Structure 1
Amino acid sequence: MFKKITFVLGLVLALSACSSGGDNGGGKSGAMDTASAEKTYKQNCASCHGNNLEGGTGPALKEVGKEHNKAEILKQIKKGGGGMPAELIQGKDAENVARWLSKKK
């Protein structure tokens, strides 16, 4: 429970300072587009979580998939909280980034 709360608060704090410019071009429906996910991440998340997922203002995400599945990550992206703005990434881009991050183990 503590890890989950820490993750949510850290993610929220980290993304609160991130830019809101995003790429609306997602990949194929239901399929992960790694290049698109990486581009979206760099445009919206890297300023807080680091270009290499190493963390910064926000928590490191290098192994976020060990602790959180796609649904949990997507919920954090959509709902925000703890300093992280809600819906910084939306729609298929959010799904794609959540899927991509869930593979980081």
Structure 2
Amino acid sequence: MPVPPAPVDPALDVPCCPPLTSAELTAEEAVQAASMFRALGDPVRLRLMSKVAAAEGGEACVCDLLDVGVSQPTVSHHLKKLREAGLLTSRKQGTWVYYSIAPAALTSMAAILEIPR
């Protein structure tokens, strides 16, 4: 039986920051952007993000994310850091937790780095 997608919070569907080339970031925007990029600065976290993004239906059970070369507690730690940075959302179903990419997270990060042509 397919797992229903995680609900989308419209408040999360807003980019965090303007492109670097359009205006100077405020201190708050810089802190938020740095948090997202810092979270992806770890190879395990980057792999976890990739696995979640590539998962069928855009959502992955934690049970499918354990094969990244570290222990289960370490996977949980990294997933928590990705959630805290606003890059992943999660929902619990029974004993399992399902993760999905936060709405607009990757778009927001790409927008920050957008270079006008």
TM-score bracket for the superposition, by shorter chain length? 0.3 to 0.5
Q: In proportion to residue count, which structure has more strand? A: 2
Q: In proportion to residue count, which structure has more helix? A: 1
The structure that has the greater radius of gyration is 2
The normalised TM-score by structure 1 is 0.33
The normalised TM-score by structure 2 is 0.31
